Chains A and B, each alone.
Chain A
Amino acid sequence: MNRAQKIAWSLVIAISLGFILSCIAIAILYVKVGMPRALAGFGFMGIAGLGGFSPLIFRKDTGKVTFDERDKLIKRRAALAGFGASYLFVGLACMIPFSILGPKATMSVIWLPNIFMGTGLSLFFVTSVAILVQYGWTNKGERS
């Protein structure tokens, strides 16, 4: 498993964990305190930020060659998939409230940083998954 795969795994785990815990927290808070305050459960998404430390944790690969044409191709395809996902996220974040609330409704600007955060998370998550899918999820078959 190379460095890119390790970083991708840590990002997928951190983002998934943050998302799952947020959903659980929101569900519990919704029952206990009601809707506007239940959104505080999103605070668990901070766990996803821990994935940002992964490039510091995983050292550069050893060996004569650490990056080649296949890595470059995988990186480019993963970035494209991530960009597509983030574009879709922004599109849905704009169009769903518009469709539900109608053209004359107003929204709090508090949603803007949330959309920004969600866009970033969707970008990193899909890029990481695309990297793992292209390299293969495991080390299976890696032998001399």
Chain B
Amino acid sequence: MGSNRLSNNIRRLRFDNGEMTQQQLADKAGVTRQTIIAIESGKYAPSLPLAFKIARTFGKQIEDIFQYEDEDSQSSAAGPDA
């Protein structure tokens, strides 16, 4: 079984949205600031409802914010010769 990782653009989106602070995003998403910090740094994968809340806060789709990467998708993206 390959390793997988959930990356995100939350930090960039916060700054694109009027330099929103982590606390402001946390209040809008209904979580603590520590949770936003953990999500931003990739240490915590949020639940689906929380991912939706964060996406709606920025007015984006989940896929625009969170990207799921695993070994299978990376090797297929690199092609069969990789």
Q: Which A residues are within 8 Å of any B CB, using their own CB?
A: 2, 61, 63-71, 135-136, 141-144
Contacts and interface: CB of A to CB of B under 8 A. Distances in A.
A99 B37 CA distance: 49
A22 B11 CA distance: 49
The A interface, classified by DSSP as helix, strand, loop or mixed, is: loop
Interface of B: 21-23, 26-27, 30-35, 37-38, 41, 43-44, 46-47, 50
Given A69-B47, A69-B50, A70-B44, A142 B30 contact: no
A141 B41 contact: yes
A65 B34 contact: no
Nearest to A67: B32
Contacts of B31: 65, 68-70
